[in-house]
Amino acid sequence: MEKPIRIAIINPREADGLARTVVDGCISLSRLGTIDFCLSQPFDYSLDVADKVFGENDFKDYAIGADIIFYINAKRSADDSTANRLAMWHKTVYVDGGEVGKNRRYDFTVQKEILFGENIGFGAPNPEMVAKCKLYFRREKPYSFDIIPLPFGIETRYVSSFDINKKKDIDFVCIFGQDEYPLMRRFARERLEAFCAKNDFSCYTKKTSTPQEFYSLLARSKVGISVGGGGYDTMRFWEILGNNCLLLTERLDIYEPDSKRLDYKRIWQFNNLFDFDYYLEKIGKILKENYKEDELKEEYVKIMQEHSSEARVMEIINICREKGVIKS
């Protein structure tokens, strides 16, 4: 049997979506014996990793013998002191979960400043880490030959209520944590509510009390609505896909513009509210006349193979092998 890949994770203490996706994938892969891992400090999510948090000296010893080091940047912070103290840049990959936030992804001045290196702050790539680390994975644009896309993935908790053999009984779910950034979220929800009332479709649009309640609704839903928030990528997108729903989403801007990685039949993309209304009519017709849940299963299996949290971690590992970062 192949020895597990050993991964030392320099993780941020604060909550971060991409960090959670990566750690969730590591937990699953460690249970399969594919990898072993440890964390540099406690993690700000309720994941079963207490025994994986090592003290400073033990973490250093583990990192010395590790195959690879994941150095994770949250939206606003990273454990820079540990990374600089180790200084094992020859096997360190940077995992950047930052975003520009609020409505700034629509701001062409912000885009220009980031591209020209005039803005190296909130949501911009870290040029020092591009230069120092062996590889740079990033949740958000810009991508280049030195920066590799790594969006959120489908985490274990997203599918905790889902049963592929259980029939769905809710037509639409459209729920966001906040709907101020961008306002497209609020307007899409209002348009959906009017459409469902007019056409006698069931829909849930009120915020739930707990994440588990939300996942239970998604597991029962035929269609989910996604609009990005402060970043191009959003957890809602992956939560919907993870529950085998049809997906009506804002125009995809997650991978490179010529990428085919999200070419799935179930995804419908809109540019504006006019498009949103148009696709609501088309999807409504499918639900009334031609919705076949069993025909979604094969594509769902493919989505889970390609976009689970485990797949995200394996993507990093495989690219590290291709680039010679992992020697074994």
* Rounded alpha-carbon distances, angstroms, from residue 164 to 11, 157, 224, 299: 34, 15, 16, 12
Radius of gyration of the chain (CA): 20
* Rounded alpha-carbon distances, angstroms, from residue 151 to 38, 94, 101, 238, 299: 22, 14, 16, 10, 20
Show the tokens assigned to 76: 């606003």
Q: What is the pLDDT of residues 14-61, one digit of tens each?
A: 878 999 999 999 999 999 999 999 999 998 788 999 999 999 999 999
What local confidence, expressed as pLDDT, does residue 1 receive? 61
Residue with tokens 């803005």: 119
Dihedral sign (CA 283, 224, 150, 24):
negative
Q: CA–CA separation, 309 vs 43, rounded Å? A: 17
* Rounded alpha-carbon distances, angstroms, from residue 328 to 33, 37, 50, 83: 16, 16, 28, 23
The top-level CATH class assigned to 5-153+308-322 is alpha beta
Check whether 242 has a pLDDT greater than 70.
yes
What local confidence, expressed as pLDDT, does residue 224 receive? 98
Q: What is the pLDDT of residues 183-240, one digit of tens each?
A: 999 999 999 999 999 999 999 999 999 999 999 999 999 999 999 999 999 999 999 9
What local confidence, expressed as pLDDT, does residue 17 receive? 92
The top-level CATH class assigned to 157-307 is alpha beta
**Centroid of chain to Cα 219:** 18
Cite the residue boundaries of each domain of the chain with CATH code 3.40.50.2000.
Answer: 5-153+308-322
Q: CA–CA separation, 174 vs 185, rounded Å? A: 9
What local confidence, expressed as pLDDT, does residue 297 receive? 97
Query: Which pLDDT band, with edges at 50, 70 and 90, does 328 fall under?
Result: low
User: Could you tell me if 233 and 250 are in contact, meaning their C-beta atoms sit under 8 angstroms apart?
Assistant: no
Check whether 156 has a pLDDT greater than 90.
yes
| Residue scoring higher pLDDT (219 or 114) | 219
Q: Name the strand (E) or helix (H) holding 110.
A: helix 108-115
Check whether 303 has a pLDDT greater than 90.
yes
pTM for this model (two decimals): 0.96
